[in-house]
């Protein structure tokens, strides 16, 4: 029994990602011993907070059998619009209304995505790509390159609220933001939602096989609509976390975030065909992507090489998940053939 459990763990996608993270960390520490410090660990972990939020939303969509490339557009629009409203109204209270507004804007845009996909039957890639382009075009037309640096007092206070701070040998600080509690809370809620609710199980079902889900009585269209609504709300939350973290609201900051988000989720083991994936893998995928970026910065690799590295990791990760799916399909075919022969 114990051997089977160990074999199951060591053969999982999450185990291999964890090994890659450990090996990468050790290699960089050998190249640059300065990287082996509490400062480096905290620096990597704090950069995971915002991407993890986006990844949870994208994870929901992918396991339902969809795809969403409007991550950056929804996040940027939600955070900027919410901050702009509070700034214009001269609001100086707690940060909670800022989060609430951003989530509501994200929910609204996610609802549009869900309606286009579940009701009008536009392919998810086309619908979300079009939505992302509409949002970005609208923001460029009305906002341009402007940003809000004089954020309301509540956002400013939240952005300067830290759990703890570590320093490197040169006295440079690496503070751990209190927004880490938002990520932890989101992961716990999503874990309970997917494991213990009927809707959570339905999301996996429609991603695994839509026809079977329909025959089982699942309302696929409504489930898809809810998935994109939830994803939009989560992107809006992530956008406001960005504003709180950097204490300014610049919609241009999130350009390209959708690629990193999808890369992290797919590397984490979520199959692009849907129906398979874990939150553990999602978390590890984000950590790996952020570790790669931090490691390459540490050893002085240019930014364009970092994009190349992330792209390579995405291709390899996608290939591995596709290979695993093919291997499981062949194994199932062999078992069925053996049963028929008996």
Q: Which residue in this structure is represented by tokens 């809620």?
A: 189
Give bridge partners of residue 165 from the DSSP assignment: 175
Encode pLDDT of 312-339 as tens digits.
Answer: 766 766 666 666 666 666 665 554 555 5
DSSP strand E in 112-251: where? 162-167, 173-177
Q: Tell me, what's the pLDDT at 322? A: 64
User: The tokens of 272 are what?
Assistant: 């692009």
What's the mean pLDDT in 159-166? 86
In this structure, the chain runs to a length of: 342
Q: Tell me, what's the pLDDT at 293? A: 79
Encode pLDDT of 261-314 as tens digits.
Answer: 888 898 888 888 888 888 998 999 899 888 887 777 766 666 666 667 767 766
Residue 241: how many CB atoms within 10 A of its CB?
A: 26
pTM for the model = 0.90
Distance between CA atoms of residues 215 and 217, nearest Å: 5
DSSP strand E in the chain: where? 162-167, 173-177
Among candidates 128, 121, 118, which has minimal Cα distance to 224?
A: 118
Residue 15: how many CB atoms within 10 A of its CB?
A: 15
Dihedral Cα 245, 240, 119, 56, nearest 10 deg: 30
Q: How much is the mean pLDDT over the chain?
A: 84
Residues 6+ apart with CB under 8 A from 98: 82, 83, 86, 152, 154, 155, 240, 243, 244
Q: Tell me, what's the pLDDT at 270? A: 84
Domains delineated in the chain: 17-341 (1.10.3470)
The yes-or-no verdict on residue 141 having pLDDT over 60 is: yes
Percent of the chain with pLDDT over 70: 84
Distance between CA atoms of residues 88 and 48, nearest Å: 31
Encode pLDDT of 204-254 as tens digits.
Answer: 999 888 888 888 889 999 999 999 999 999 999 999 999 999 888 888 888
Q: Tell me, what's the pLDDT at 300? A: 66
Distance between CA atoms of residues 199 and 189, nearest Å: 13
The yes-or-no verdict on residue 145 having pLDDT over 80 is: no
Q: Tell me, what's the pLDDT at 88? A: 87
DSSP-derived pairing of the beta strands 162-167 and 173-177: antiparallel
Residues 6+ apart with CB under 8 A from 309: 292, 296, 301
Q: Which residue has the higher pLDDT, 212 or 6?
A: 212
Q: Which residue has the higher pLDDT, 64 or 169?
A: 64
Please report which confidence band the pLDDT of residue 5 belongs to, taking 50, 70 and 90 as the band edges: low
Lowest mean pLDDT among 68-72, 182-186, 290-294: 290-294
What's the mean pLDDT in 32-48? 83
Helix (H, G, I), strand (E, B) or coil at 270: coil
Distance between CA atoms of residues 247 and 43, nearest Å: 18
């Amino acid at each position: 029994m114990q051997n089977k459990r160990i074999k199951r763990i060591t053969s999982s996608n999450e185990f291999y990602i964890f090994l890659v993270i450990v090996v990468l960390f050790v290699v960089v520490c050998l190249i640059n011993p300065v990287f082996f410090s509490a400062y480096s660990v905290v620096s990597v972990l704090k950069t995971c907070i915002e991407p993890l939020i986006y990844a949870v939303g994208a994870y929901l969509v992918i396991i339902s059998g969809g795809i969403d490339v409007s991550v950056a557009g929804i996040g940027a629009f939600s955070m900027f619009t919410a901050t702009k409203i509070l700034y214009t109204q001269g609001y100086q209270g707690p940060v909670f209304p800022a989060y609430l507004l951003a989530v509501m804007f994200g929910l609204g845009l996610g609802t549009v995505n869900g309606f286009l996909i579940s009701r009008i039957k536009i392919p998810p890639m086309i619908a979300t790509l079009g939505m992302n382009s509409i949002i970005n075009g609208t923001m460029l037309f009305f906002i341009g390159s402007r940003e809000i640096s004089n954020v309301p007092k509540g956002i400013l206070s939240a952005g300067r609220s830290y759990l703890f701070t570590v320093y490197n040998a040169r006295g440079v600080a690496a503070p751990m933001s209190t927004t880490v509690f938002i990520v932890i809370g989101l992961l716990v809620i999503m874990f309970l939602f997917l494991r213990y609710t009927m809707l959570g199980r339905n999301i996996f079902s429609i991603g695994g096989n839509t026809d079977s889900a329909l025959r089982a009585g699942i309302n696929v269209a409504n489930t898809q609509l809810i998935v994109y609504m939830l994803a939009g709300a989560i992107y809006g939350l992530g956008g406001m976390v960005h504003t709180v973290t950097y204490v300014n609201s610049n919609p241009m900051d999130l350009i390209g975030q959708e690629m990193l988000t999808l890369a992290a989720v797919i590397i984490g083991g979520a199959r692009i065909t849907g129906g398979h994936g874990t939150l553990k893998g999602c978390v590890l995928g984000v950590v790996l992507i952020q570790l790669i970026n931090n490691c390459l910065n540490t050893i002085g690799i240019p930014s364009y090489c970092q994009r190349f590295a992330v792209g390579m990791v995405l291709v390899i990760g996608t290939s591995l998940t596709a290979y695993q799916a093919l291997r499981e399909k062949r194994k199932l075919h062999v078992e069925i053939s053996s049963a028929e022969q008996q």
